[in-house]
Structure 1
């Protein structure tokens, strides 16, 4: 029945119907896909955990301040010393700042440093809910106005950081897309060695990306789905990388079937029938793994789940409908110059993976034990992985003006007055809360309580970077002091409190989501392979591969790239992508092992599976690794680290875990990997395996 459905999708008439349908979808989707950037939400609320204290404080703070207000600091620095003329110029600048569109309230400053080499002026912007998108232009206008002879000017504070963040993600919709496509095209050209064939997977990946972006746009606009710059970047990488992987698997199986069937429509029906279950299992694993992210407290993490799941689901539909239709429409010539003719020999039978399989078969137990030990040693690098978080200065791979401005403030003893800790409490206990705060080190003198209704508001300036450990210590000390005030019901918020709550929520998400995904992957493999032992083995190998990839990455982060640490959410994101995507290659391999075991036995079937899938899985791994490595083009440390770790992990999965470790275990254990099913029950002896006859199974 499955073959009949596959045949219907690629029949002589239906192939044109499928093509026409996707053409209509693409034309409509391309219009709305371009609007996805416009509905991104990069405000704090799109990242903040809903249950966090800083979130609950924010709800009460709306009576005292507009949540859309963004304090911005203009920093003047002159190493030779500021003159009276410089101070007069900065004072005149402050008057002009007040006239800039979006400025609200009083412009504070200029405030000079004690060493006479720096000034700061504080400007507050309010563009409503669109504030974070409007800040880059506003920051540029401030920079055009400000200036002193022989000195430098920087835009810092919350507004400067927002403007720089927008610059870091600027052009992501085009730069990242073209960079990813360029890398994939090169790899496909090397893989297929055809000047034409690579076009079809790329076209299908583009259709999948536009279609998923359009669908996500509607959900973001009308169903409150959270999409930010981070999830947008990952969506592009994921769709193109996974889509190309699915295409490689299908095209490889189609090429096999073209050597067995004279009619290309019949060949595609068989190819789709045999490849689709593995592709479906792979896509389902990624989709369900991504949906597990919805268990996260972090809105940014939870929002990525459905975004990525939609992208993979749409990609799967495109690759099992549009790509097969295009392949049969084009005919055999699309493989030129290596056209697979009817009854021609299968070239993989004598390829590199056939030789690797024969070498492993000599001493499989020695191979898998040695490989496991090497991977375990690589895991020791995890001891150097610091996930305590990154300061603003360390969050980017290049220096932005907000960072330089912050450094100037610290160097000249000026406190960034835009970084405040904000406390709301019961009105009757406002003075007691203020007194409790006054005893905390690391903050300026708290303001007098402001009372509105039954709520009192107290504010104090933090004299540390907003995301530094020192600021976190101050926030924790303030919480401890104010929570101890009887009847105050104090809530501590502000920028540093937000970052601290983000760190704690990420730690909680790691502990909840990682075990959930492991259980889910095991259940999927159990259903797919109809066994228990082999799924346990596969999950164990992927976890070992993950640990090795993270260990090696941690050493590179510290000793090669010079990163100061990692974001608290980095382990979770790396785990999700490495496990959900890394298990794909084991699915591709083991479904073929199971298919061949039914006629050849486990050991011989394992060698045939390695020989048949080795080339395509290696190519798929290179594509996915290269696409994630493209994340390094974005000057954000989190994305650069994620791209490197996932790329390294995928290479380990394809080159070591899948090809060597899993194959060696299969050869050593034989039919025992299928327990408790009856598959290959007779194969109980543990013996070296001679190279099997690799002639294709009819």
Structure 2
């Protein structure tokens, strides 16, 4: 069947049919279906509908509607202290907003009706900052909010006499202003990703093209993988856009950005696996069709296995409860599936059409063809001896000193893995944005000039709480600064709410740890007051509570998805290699390199780049990609060793397998690592951290695990590396010995 498939793609006429089908499908889908970029939804919820903080927010909206809505915080600041003229300007803006409300604007605190002493109560203790909330209806479109904030800036400029939003926060004697809060963050985040897809794709294409030209020095060969990836993207994008339009999936800018990188990185790798095999066969076969059939037969299994490994690993993200993880599953797995199909259909067809000229100016020829070529030129053909490459030397080393190589590799990776124990995590989305982003600047001003807990109070809602000493029980907690008096609901008086002000940063780990304590304290107060079923009478909401739920869901997803991914890969490896031993050490080596990548990534991010904590989502993101993509290289190399083992002694098969796959896997690893590193150019810390750690992991797999550790372990295990499958019997006495 494999020969028939290869013959079809290499056929005189059918290769053109294959190319036509890809062109037709890409054009039809692009014309008929929407692009995925137009279907992005960047404000999709990440928490489950039954998450405690979400239920609390729903309860607050229902029974305390005056506190509901999406707030924008206009942060007014003057380093020397706000003046009477500043307060007058703030009141003028407020008066205009009250008399001429913006679209979807909700209730507004009437600062313009307050005397100066009352107005100063809203100011920070040092008198430098006033955070003015302006609330808008839930689900207001980001574009509408952006237009509203532009109008606010116009009003502020008219009231102040100059544009305070352009005045630096530090070092200026003038009044400055920034828009923060959920509205400001939403607007700024959308702006960051506005052209990210185009910029990222352009940078990735240029980078891959340059690397291919440097590595292979062939302009045609450098373009072929990009053509394959381009067609795969042209098919994937409208399919995802259609699925998103039907409501089957949700896509956001972050997922599409990473999908683009993954498609170009992994897609180029699959193309190179086939192209390299084709190049080798062209030095043995004078017929390009025969060479292509042999190349397809030799590479298709490893490519298909590698592709399915990544696809199934990414589909495991569907088991996630946290929305950001779940939204990655379908776009990533579909992109890899289509790219795998393209590398096994479109690329062979293109190579068959172009033939040996694909490798111009370094065209591969058989020895007979070289002799004929020399004869036509009137020269005598002289066969060149095989050049010893670095891969040859590595192959010789791992079979000569496998124990030394294994111990050295494990020692290096182990030390780096140990560094991962010191990683600190954050679930604060704001810390992922650039420090000079306006909404983060405003956030920082509030953080620096107000009491820590006032930045994001925790709201506690209770039912039937009359007579309970709620404030006393909550104030007794170590992390609580003070608690407001209970406020009864105007909708249903049996509901009351309290605002809990923490004495620690509400986005810190200590604040998150206080959430279950706050809930338990409220429940205990109700029980002491004789309230039955007190556990169902308490809701805890606010941003700190939402972060706590995020951590809980993330921890749960890590516990579920990581074992599932390992299990899926183990099953695929068992089916492909039919060896329990090989499955164990192939998975074990990539797990070790994954933890080492986390450790080295943390050392660079923390000690070099000054990052205090990495985003809590990074470990799972990096795990799924590094485990799946790391196995790609192992599969491709071990497949070569397995095939050669049938015709030669094991150590010789290992040496030649390492030598044969060394250049292509090194090239593929460099390209994949470089494409992930492109993510570090984006102004989003979560992508910078993910791109850096994943690139490090790919490089470790490329330069440590694949060339040294895996073949060295295989050499140590000998025939047991195949257990329980029976390797083809080869006379080991014919084994070449290495010193």
User: So what's the TM-score if we normalise by structure 1?
Assistant: 0.92
Q: Please state how far the C-alpha of 1:156 moved relative to its aligned partner.
A: 1.2
What is the DSSP-based 3-state SS (H/G/I as helix, E as strand, rest coil) of the residue aligned with 1:155?
Answer: strand
Alignment of 1:335-354 (within 5 A): 335-343=359-367, 350-354=388-392
Is 1:429–2:469 an aligned residue pair? no
Q: Residues 86 and 175 of structure 2 are in contact (CA less than 8 Å); yes or no, is this contact kept in structure 1? A: no
Question: Which residue does the alignment assign to 1:76?
Answer: 76
Is 1:121–2:132 an aligned residue pair? yes
Q: Residues 361 and 667 of structure 1 are in contact (CA less than 8 Å); yes or no, is this contact kept in structure 2? A: yes
Question: Which residue does the alignment assign to 2:230?
Answer: 206
Which stretch of structure 1 is more off in the superposition, 466-475 or 401-410?
Answer: 466-475
Gaps of 5+ in 2: 112-118, 162-173, 371-382
Question: Which residue does the alignment assign to 1:366?
Answer: 404
Deviations 1:489-542 (A, max 9, x none): 122222221111101211122122212222221221111111111111111111
Deviations 1:548-607 (A, max 9, x none): 111111111110011111122211111111111111100000111111111113221112
Equivalent-residue separation in structure 2 for 1:242 and 1:562 (angstroms): 31
Equivalent-residue separation in structure 1 for 2:732 and 2:294 (angstroms): 32
Q: Residues 33 and 211 of structure 1 are in contact (CA less than 8 Å); yes or no, is this contact kept in structure 2? A: no
Alignment of 1:185-204 (within 5 A): 185-204=209-228
| Cα distance change of structure 1 residues 517 and 243 upon mapping to structure 2, 3 Å threshold | same
Question: Which residue does the alignment assign to 1:143?
Answer: 153
Q: Please state how far the C-alpha of 1:182 moved relative to its aligned partner.
A: 1.5
Q: Please state how far the C-alpha of 1:35 moved relative to its aligned partner.
A: 3.6
What is the DSSP-based 3-state SS (H/G/I as helix, E as strand, rest coil) of the residue aligned with 1:262?
Answer: coil
| Cα distance change of structure 1 residues 374 and 474 upon mapping to structure 2, 3 Å threshold | closer
State which of 252, 258, 264 in structure 2 corresponds to 1:240. 264
What is the DSSP-based 3-state SS (H/G/I as helix, E as strand, rest coil) of the residue aligned with 1:677?
Answer: coil
Question: Which residue does the alignment assign to 2:322?
Answer: 298
What is the DSSP-based 3-state SS (H/G/I as helix, E as strand, rest coil) of the residue aligned with 2:37?
Answer: helix
Alignment of 1:94-173 (within 5 A): 94-98=94-98, 99-107=101-109, 109=111, 111-126=122-137, 129=139, 131-132=141-142, 134-147=144-157, 148=160, 150-173=174-197
Question: Which residue does the alignment assign to 2:432?
Answer: 395
State which of 475, 485, 489 in structure 2 corresponds to 1:450. 489
Equivalent-residue separation in structure 2 for 1:356 and 1:226 (angstroms): 46
Q: Residues 425 and 456 of structure 1 are in contact (CA less than 8 Å); yes or no, is this contact kept in structure 2? A: yes
Q: Please state how far the C-alpha of 1:104 moved relative to its aligned partner.
A: 2.3
Kindly report the root-mean-square deviation, in angstroms, between the aligned alpha carbons of the 2 structures.
2.8
Q: Residues 349 and 612 of structure 1 are in contact (CA less than 8 Å); yes or no, is this contact kept in structure 2? A: no
Deviations 1:669-692 (A, max 9, x none): 32221111111456779987349x
Gaps of 5+ in 1: 692-698
Which stretch of structure 1 is more off in the superposition, 548-557 or 431-440?
Answer: 431-440
Q: Please state how far the C-alpha of 1:252 moved relative to its aligned partner.
A: 0.3
Q: Residues 50 and 298 of structure 1 are in contact (CA less than 8 Å); yes or no, is this contact kept in structure 2? A: no
Equivalent-residue separation in structure 1 for 2:129 and 2:618 (angstroms): 37
User: So what's the TM-score if we normalise by structure 2?
Assistant: 0.87
| Cα distance change of structure 1 residues 355 and 473 upon mapping to structure 2, 3 Å threshold | closer
Alignment of 1:215-614 (within 5 A): 215-343=239-367, 350-387=388-425, 389-391=426-428, 394-413=431-450, 419-426=456-463, 428-429=464-465, 432=468, 435=471, 441-442=480-481, 444-450=483-489, 452=491, 456=495, 458-460=497-499, 462=501, 466-484=506-524, 485=526, 486=531, 487-488=533-534, 489=536, 490-614=538-662
Deviations 1:339-371 (A, max 9, x none): 112346899863221122123332222221222
Q: Residues 637 and 657 of structure 2 are in contact (CA less than 8 Å); yes or no, is this contact kept in structure 1? A: yes
| Cα distance change of structure 1 residues 333 and 97 upon mapping to structure 2, 3 Å threshold | farther
Equivalent-residue separation in structure 2 for 1:515 and 1:685 (angstroms): 42
Equivalent-residue separation in structure 1 for 2:417 and 2:451 (angstroms): 44
Equivalent-residue separation in structure 2 for 1:688 and 1:143 (angstroms): 78
| Cα distance change of structure 1 residues 378 and 115 upon mapping to structure 2, 3 Å threshold | closer
| Cα distance change of structure 1 residues 276 and 407 upon mapping to structure 2, 3 Å threshold | same
Equivalent-residue separation in structure 2 for 1:146 and 1:475 (angstroms): 38
Q: Please state how far the C-alpha of 1:92 moved relative to its aligned partner.
A: 1.3
What is the DSSP-based 3-state SS (H/G/I as helix, E as strand, rest coil) of the residue aligned with 1:480?
Answer: helix
Equivalent-residue separation in structure 2 for 1:259 and 1:200 (angstroms): 20
Equivalent-residue separation in structure 2 for 1:466 and 1:169 (angstroms): 27
Question: Which residue does the alignment assign to 1:55?
Answer: 54
| Cα distance change of structure 1 residues 611 and 179 upon mapping to structure 2, 3 Å threshold | same
What is the DSSP-based 3-state SS (H/G/I as helix, E as strand, rest coil) of the residue aligned with 2:106?
Answer: coil
Equivalent-residue separation in structure 2 for 1:48 and 1:443 (angstroms): 28
Q: Please state how far the C-alpha of 1:270 moved relative to its aligned partner.
A: 1.9
Question: Which residue does the alignment assign to 1:695?
Answer: none
Deviations 1:445-478 (A, max 9, x none): 1551216469725252646655233542443332
What is the DSSP-based 3-state SS (H/G/I as helix, E as strand, rest coil) of the residue aligned with 1:350?
Answer: coil
| Cα distance change of structure 1 residues 665 and 457 upon mapping to structure 2, 3 Å threshold | same
What is the DSSP-based 3-state SS (H/G/I as helix, E as strand, rest coil) of the residue aligned with 1:24?
Answer: helix
Equivalent-residue separation in structure 2 for 1:363 and 1:378 (angstroms): 23
Paired residues in the alignment total 687
Equivalent-residue separation in structure 2 for 1:348 and 1:476 (angstroms): 68
Q: Residues 34 and 242 of structure 2 are in contact (CA less than 8 Å); yes or no, is this contact kept in structure 1? A: no
Deviations 1:597-629 (A, max 9, x none): 111132211122111111010011011101111
Q: Please state how far the C-alpha of 1:83 moved relative to its aligned partner.
A: 2.3
Q: Residues 71 and 157 of structure 1 are in contact (CA less than 8 Å); yes or no, is this contact kept in structure 2? A: yes
Q: Residues 97 and 107 of structure 1 are in contact (CA less than 8 Å); yes or no, is this contact kept in structure 2? A: no
Equivalent-residue separation in structure 2 for 1:506 and 1:28 (angstroms): 40
| Cα distance change of structure 1 residues 683 and 570 upon mapping to structure 2, 3 Å threshold | farther
Q: Please state how far the C-alpha of 1:329 moved relative to its aligned partner.
A: 1.5
Equivalent-residue separation in structure 2 for 1:246 and 1:19 (angstroms): 18
Equivalent-residue separation in structure 2 for 1:74 and 1:60 (angstroms): 27
What is the DSSP-based 3-state SS (H/G/I as helix, E as strand, rest coil) of the residue aligned with 1:71?
Answer: strand
Q: Residues 289 and 517 of structure 1 are in contact (CA less than 8 Å); yes or no, is this contact kept in structure 2? A: yes
